[in-house]
A and B are shown apart, each in its own frame.
Chain A
Amino acid sequence: MSAPATDRVEIAGLLAEFETAPAVVAAARTVRDAGYRRWDVHSPFPIHGIDEAMGLRPTMLPWIVLASGVAGTVTGLLLAWWTNAIDYPYFVSGKPLFSLPAFMPVIFETTVLAAAFGAVLGMFGLNLLPMLYNPLFRHERFRRVTNDRFFIVIDASDPSFDPAGTRGLLESCGATAVEEVEE
């Protein structure tokens, strides 16, 4: 799949393969320092220190989870209170219509449920998943990203991207192979 690129072909970016995690981390630092913005590191497992190496900012996911959790609490409380004390009140075991202690378990469960959905949906949302089509999948080589290989992909739309220079940069920092990603 190493066909000579003609000028007509629209290059979406460059795909560089690395063999080890340390190698890709090092490369990532170089790429980061080279001032690239629109690029990414792909690995079979989360690599320690890669965030720092890529200069990623912490995710906002925790706030989403907190929000949904609080929403869950309120929903549970309102549900129990409105149904049992307001909309459909009846005498049960001579207990008060609004018996908060007895409602606690349900409120707790709704909290956890909502928070969990917040975490999962939030994560996939921020990751823009599911995204079943991805040009990278057309690279036979890239199949090993989920097995034992590490990749750096630099997007052509990156301001400081230029096909020759970027390829040079990547090869310079120890990529075992560099390919052009096509739309």
Chain B
Amino acid sequence: MSPMTERPRDDYWLSLEHLARDPELCARIRDEFPGYDPAALAEMPRRRFLRLMGGAMALAGLTLSGCRRYPAERLAPHARRPEERVPGALERYATGFEIDGATTGLLVTTHDGRPIKIEGNPLHPDSLGATDGITQATVLDLYDPDRSRWPVEMTAAGERRRRGWDQFDHFAGAHFRALRALGGGGLAFLCGRSTSPTSLAMRARLREVFPRCRWYEHEPFDAAARIEGSRLAFGRALRPIYRLHRAAVIAAIDADLFGSHPAKLRHASEWAAARKPEAGRMNRLWSIESELSITGSVADHRLAQRPGRIEAIVQELARRLAVAGVTDAVPLDDRETRFVDRLAADLRVAGAASLITVGDAAAPRVHELAHRINAALGALGQTVEFVEEPAREAGTIAELAREIESRSVETLVILDGNPGFDAPADLGLAAHIGRVPTTIRLGLYDDETSALCTWHVPRAHFLESWSDGRAWDGAVSIGQPLILPLHDGRTDAELLAGLAGDATRSGYDLVRRTARDVIPHEEGDAAFERAWRRALHDGVVERTAWPRVEPELVGAARSTASEVAVAEGATGRLDVVFRRDPRLHDGRFANNAWLQETPDPMTKVTWDNPALLSVRDAGRLGVRTGDVVRVSVDDRSVELPVFVLPGQPEGVLGVRLGSGRAAAGRIGNGVGFDAYPLRTSATLAFAGNATVESTGRRYDLASTQDHHVMDTFARQATEKRVGPRGESGKVVREVTPADFGGDAGLGDGEASVPRADGHDRARIFDPPSQFNEPHAWGMTIDMSSCIGCNACVTACQAENNIPVVGKEEVARNREMHWIRIDRYFKGDPESDESPDVVHQPVMCVHCENAPCEQVCPVAATVHDTEGLNTMVYNRCIGTRYCANNCPYKVRRFNYFDYHSKEPGEPARPWAGMPDSQQLISVDEVKRMVFNPDVTVRMRGVMEKCTYCVQRIQRARIDRRRRGEEIRDGDIVTACQQVCPTQAIVFGDIGDPDSRVRALQESPRAYPVLEELGVRPRTLHLAKARNPAKVDFEP
């Protein structure tokens, strides 16, 4: 806390002082507000505290809304024109978020000038209205009290001093004027991959000013292999754009299409669109992978194999499909052969409607072969299109390291990224950076890299920045700020403009300047103005996607049986496969509590990154989940806890990078284990010949599922409920296209589906209501669309002010997420066949005969006339009987006041007025992220999914104001809105024309735990699998 108590003069509350007449108040606020020194809080009389806070908050609201740059810089609201702004009314603005060099279009909801919720932009090609969990969570970063708030300089003596921007500008001005004289000799820039027109323009601009400066790009997860692959196949750098909805058969080769691909949202959406058995559309997904990705988890056929074998398998596949030049057969083992046989047959049948996709981690040659196979099948231009890969005139981080070593770098400017943490270990970059005389780091956090630099300056969060960016296919979108920089950070462009000594330094001007060249428009400022307004409003600019190219293959594939055979070398040692953490990306989100607490899609582990091990390897090594092992590759070694994961390829140790940060912030420090030290520039994808030995130590992993070792009977019971491989169980039902026509295997989903007309089985008494006055809210969850990506979990957390509980509490099974995605494995974990995976999202199903209600002694949970099982928080006394009696166990109890509890620490006692803890002890800045439409629950009350009742009310009010009836689609729950595959549909099941009604009448619809007769309003749609016919001729 101490660094924040003494605040810089120029932070974002400055504006308050302009507004506030009373200097004493301002002084108070300056000390008080984001300073929030608990000591000060404690000694201040309560009334006075509240008065000042009241004043502060009022002014804050006023200021922030008043200070939005609308009048000055013409921000265009998405929904309605700001002249009509009603204080307290929600507004949505279009913006964009760039990660991995691709920008996703967003619509951000603001409340009185505070961004509180992020949604996808339906117009944007890479969003289509959806977002992923990470993007959802970035709003929490915005209000992260740990963000860097002021420039820091490292003195000659080596201690780091806090500075002001003026001091930095003064230094930078002089320094770069000097450099300019040298033409920028010895000046180097290190930045992340970006396709933002403005960033590229600034790059060009700096090349003008400093002709001799050099640029380097670094992303821990690079696409070099993919680009190299396309060069091998087509002779030039091309970017494949997959069109999954056109494909009948898709083979994903180490490709996490839905998990880590920049266009994952579009992929998921297109894939799911072609997976509607009742509509007669059902594609088939084959997966060959060296990890268990969510893509693999929803594949109809999956082959888990060591990364070293993949090239061989693909080459054999290419041979089967008569790819020119691939002649030599490669020895495959039975499992591989069986798989390739069937895959090849399936692809041959599908022909042009098939698609081979390859992940960035795979070797260039695999990419090449994939391109050639697609060509051979005639898929080019059908299921896969190409655009020119945007050229990157930049060196690699390895080159930078060499340059520094040769003492030819005098000044290094690091824009964002965190190379001090995630650079390949062999480069020893940390040491190198230290050796550069002048290093300037622009970063969101004062992190590992900043600590090495002579200057650290705060970067503006993207919600505070003017920016632009390109979608995966090149479509341009403009990012507008939603709030003034809370900590006075600057954007990359703003900083560079400053270094270049340009006059125009404001982000707005810079972006607008590039926009003139990027946004197509007729001549004339007025025309541009219109185009610009439209771009801001839509969030994406039409006709800006890169032109499609029809590439020709060059040469023929070399067939390299020998090399492949070598790669096979199964030495009994393990391959260590490096993957980004599905929750924390490459580690840059490590200080985000929402993401840390999001369960891993497969292991369901929170707050950790255990190494994944197959059941057989675990047996061989004599380790079980929770054992700490030492993993050594050559002379490098790290210690990691193990998680034994069914479906993990044998012989592969799956390592998730990004955890174990040392300088992430209060949330992320020391959470998990840092595995980057294992990873060298030679082994970016995987490292072979790793030795793994148990240290004999145990480590507690906090998982939201499987809190215990499964005994035999438990396993049998689970199988009975989940169903044996490929069959339906009691709670998880499965279908195959064969079932259509009749709905065999589905059981009668019909009879117990609640009907608005009250048609139902015999009951012993008449219900007091049909719960359909005037609407009958209901939901369907399609298990065949769900990819288990967790976006809904985070979206729900953001929408409903769900607290973070911390690892200890999760370990006690007290996580608060309203949505669980239950992950089940089917099949024998010991067997060759990779197990089937089921993702079953479960939240409150709003039973009409809700068992929770009758046991509540104080009627704190009751039904409304529209079928909502409502929770009356302030009536709840916390007997927890409702939770006991809930067969779905979807109720969550506030065992502590989680909002006022730091995730890492035990709950603090509260001697004040009961129920007032969070009102007083929740950090003021953190509090800004709360959704004002949703009660923040206090300690000791029960909570659960409400079907987003606040959204229902908002829609109702909006319609009523216009004197209209609610229409189907007016109400979109947070989970539904974010879902890339539209697996969740909400609406009025009483309305015969509603989408949800149609889905509830689908033969796939069934109530989970139907036999209990609780008449849930949420129905699940049976999981549809599409296995290839077994009887085929290879």
A-contacting residues, B746-800, CB 8 Å: 765-769, 771
Whether B848 contacts A92 by the Cβ 8 Å rule is no
B1015 contacts partner chain A, Cβ-Cβ < 8 Å: yes
Within 8 A of A (CB), among B840-857: 848-851, 853-854, 856
Which residues of chain A from 57 to 105 have any CB-CB distance to chain B below 8 Å in the complex?
Answer: 88, 90-97, 99, 102
Tell me, rounded to whole Å, the shortest Cβ–Cβ distance linking B98 to chain A.
49
| Most chain B beta carbons < 10 A, residue from A88, A90, A97 | A90
* A88, A96, A102: the one within 8 Å of B768 (CB): A96
- Report the nearest B residue to A92, measured CB to CB: B853
A92 to B865, CA, bound (A): 11
Would B864 and A94 count as touching, CB distance under 8 A?
no
Q: Across the interface, do B766 and A96 meet the contact criterion of CB distance under 8 Å?
A: yes
B759 CB to closest chain A CB (Å) equals: 15
Taken together as a complex, chains A and B put the C-alpha atoms of A91 and B865 apart, in Å, by: 8
Is B854's CB under 8 angstroms from A91's CB?
A: no
The one of B766, B851, B863 in contact with A91, judged by C-beta atoms closer than 8 angstroms, is B863
Whether A94 contacts B849 by the Cβ 8 Å rule is yes
Q: Contact between A92 and B765 (Cβ–Cβ < 8 Å)?
A: no
**Chain A residue at minimum C-beta to C-beta distance from B766:** A96
Q: How many A-B residue pairs have CB under 8 A?
A: 44
Within the assembled complex, what's the spacing in Å between the Cα atoms of A94 and B856? 14
Q: List the B residue with the shortest CB-CB distance to A101.
A: B765
Pair B765/A96 contact, Cβ less than 8 Å = yes
Chain A positions within 8 Å of B853 at CB level: 91-93
Q: Are the C-beta atoms of A94 and B767 separated by less than 8 Å?
A: yes
Complex contacts, B768 vs chain A, CB 8 Å: 91, 94-97
**Neighbouring B residues of A91 by C-beta, 8 Å:** 768-769, 771, 853, 862-865
Q: How far is the CA of A97 from the CA of B768 in the complex (A)?
A: 7
Give residues 97-130 of A contacting B (CB, 8 Å): 97, 99, 102
Is B920 part of the contact surface with A, judged by Cβ < 8 Å? Answer: no
- Total interface residues on B, CB under 8 Å, equals 19
Instruction: Give the Cβ gap from A52 to chain B, nearest Cβ, in Å.
Output: 52
Rounded to whole angstroms, the CA-CA distance of A96 and B764 in the bound complex is: 11
Report the minimal beta-carbon distance from A168 to chain B, rounded to whole angstroms.
Answer: 70
Q: Which residue of B lies closest to A84 (CB)?
A: B859
A93 contacts B854, CB within 8 Å?
Answer: yes
* Contact bitstring B851-876, A, C-beta under 8 A = 1, else 0: 10110100100111100000000000
Q: Least Cβ distance of B454 to chain A in Å?
A: 67
Decide: A90 and B859 in contact? CB cutoff 8 A: yes
Cross-chain contact of B863 among A88, A94, A102 (Cβ < 8 A): A94
> Smallest Cβ distance from A91 to chain B, in angstroms?
4
In the complex, are the beta carbons of B864 and A93 less than 8 A apart? no
Across-interface contacts of A92 in B (CB, < 8 A): 853-854, 856, 859, 862-863
Across-interface contacts of B863 in A (CB, < 8 A): 90-94
User: Chain A residues near B865 (CB, 8 Å)?
Assistant: 91
Using a Cβ–Cβ cut-off of 8 Å, how many residues does chain A contribute to the interface with B? 11
Query: Across the interface, which residues of A come within 8 angstroms of B1015, CB to CB?
Result: 94
How far does the alpha carbon of A99 sit from the alpha carbon of B769 in the complex, in Å?
Answer: 15
Instruction: Indicate if the CB atoms of B862 and A95 lie closer than 8 Å.
Output: no
Q: Are B769 and A95 in contact (CB under 8 A)?
A: no
Contacts of A99 in B (CB 8 A): 765
B849 (CB) vs chain A CBs: closest residue: A94
Complexed CA–CA distance, A127 and B941 (Å): 51
Q: Kindly state the separation between the CA atoms of A93 and B859 in the bound complex, as whole angstroms.
A: 11
A7-B903 Cα distance, complex, nearest whole Å: 92
Query: B766–A93 contact, CB under 8 A?
Result: no
Q: Which residue of A lies closest to B852 (CB)?
A: A93
A99 to B768, CA, bound (A): 11
Once the chains are docked, how many angstroms separate the CA of A91 from the CA of B863? 5
Which residues on the A side are within 8 Å of B766 (C-beta)?
96
Could you tell me the distance between the alpha carbons of A94 and B854 in the complex, rounded to whole angstroms? 9
CA distance A16 to B767 in the complex (A): 74
Most chain B C-beta atoms within 10 Å of own C-beta, residue among A88, A91, A96, A102: A91
Cβ of B859: which chain A residues have Cβ within 8 Å of it? 88, 90, 92
Which residue of chain A is the closest to B850 with respect to CB atoms? A93
CA distance A84 to B162 in the complex (A): 65
Flag if A95 contacts B850 (CB, 8 Å): no
- Distance (Å) between the CB of B944 and the closest chain A CB? 15
A115–B863 CA distance with the chains assembled, in angstroms: 37
Alpha-carbon distance A51/B768, docked complex (angstroms): 59
Q: Which residues of B contact A94 (CB under 8 A)?
A: 767-769, 771, 848-850, 863, 1015
- Cα–Cα distance between A94 and B849 once the two chains are bound (Å): 5
Give complex CA distance A92, B769 in Å: 10
- A91, A94, A96, A99, most chain B CB atoms within 10 A: A94
> Shortest Cβ distance from A89 into chain B, in angstroms?
8
Q: Which residues of B contact A96 (CB under 8 A)?
A: 765-766, 768
Residues of B within 8 A of A88 (CB): 859
- A95 and B853 CA atoms in complex are apart in Å by 10
Most chain A C-beta atoms within 10 Å of own C-beta, residue among B768, B849, B865:
B768
Residues of A within 8 A of B769 (CB): 91, 94
CA distance A178 to B399 in the complex (A): 125
Binary B-proximity of A29-60 (CB < 8 A = 1, otherwise 0): 00000000000000000000000000000000
Binary interface encoding of chain A residues 122-153 relative to chain B, with 1 for a CB under 8 A from any of its CBs, else 0:
00000000000000000000000000000000
Chain B residue with Cβ nearest A91: B863
Q: What separation, in Å, do the CA atoms of A88 and B849 have in the docked complex?
A: 19
CB distance from B296 to the nearest CB of A (A): 42
> How many angstroms between the C-alpha atoms of A52 and B71 in the bound complex?
106
Residues in A whose Cβ lies below 8 Å from that of B850: 93-94
How far, in whole Å, are A94 and B544 apart by their CA atoms in the complex?
A: 56
Closest residue on chain B to residue A85 by CB atoms: B768
Q: Roughly how many angstroms separate A96 CA and B854 CA in the complex, as a whole number?
A: 11
Please give, as numbers and ranges, the residues of chain A lying within 8 Å of B856 by CB-CB distance. Answer: 92
Within the complex, the shortest CB–CB distance from A94 to chain B, in Å, comes to: 4
Interchain nearest-CB distance for B1012 vs A (Å): 12
Closest chain-B Cβ to A112's Cβ sits at a distance in Å of: 20
Task: Check B849 against A93 for contact (C-beta < 8 Å).
Answer: yes
In the bound complex, how far is the Cα of B823 from the Cα of A44, in angstroms?
A: 75
With the chains together, A93 CA to B869 CA distance in Å? 9
- Bound-complex Cα distance A93 to B849 (A): 4
B765 touches A95 (CB 8 A): yes
A1-38 interface mask toward B, CB cutoff 8 Å, 1 = contact, 0 = none?
A: 00000000000000000000000000000000000000
Structural contact, B864 and A95, CB atoms closer than 8 A: no
Compute how far the CA of A90 lies from the CA of B862 in the bound complex, rounded to whole angstroms. Answer: 7
A146 CA to B300 CA, complexed, in Å: 91
User: How many Å lie between the Cα of A90 and that of B863 in the bound state?
Assistant: 7
CA distance A169 to B211 in the complex (A): 139
CA distance A96 to B763 in the complex (A): 12
- Cα–Cα distance between A93 and B769 once the two chains are bound (Å): 11
CA distance A93 to B848 in the complex (A): 7
**B851 partner, pick from A90, A93, A97, A102, beta carbons under 8 A:** A93
Query: B767's closest neighbor in chain A, by CB?
Result: A94
Residue of A nearest to B769 (CB): A91
Shortest C-beta distance, B773 to chain A (Å), equals: 11
Compute how far the CA of A93 lies from the CA of B846 in the bound complex, rounded to whole angstroms: 10
* Complex CA–CA separation, A95 to B771 (angstroms): 12
A-B contact pairs, 23 of them (CB 8 A): A88-B859, A90-B859, A91-B768, A91-B853, A91-B863, A91-B864, A92-B859, A92-B862, A92-B863, A93-B854, A94-B767, A94-B769, A94-B771, A94-B848, A94-B849, A94-B863, A95-B767, A95-B849, A96-B765, A96-B766, A96-B768, A97-B768, A102-B854
B residues with a Cβ closer than 8 A to A are 765-769, 771, 848-851, 853-854, 856, 859, 862-865, 1015
Mark A residues whose CB is within 8 Å of B: 88, 90-97, 99, 102
- Apart from A91-B853, A94-B771, 12 more pairs, CB < 8 Å: A90-B859, A91-B862, A91-B864, A92-B853, A92-B859, A92-B862, A93-B851, A94-B850, A94-B1015, A95-B767, A95-B768, A95-B854
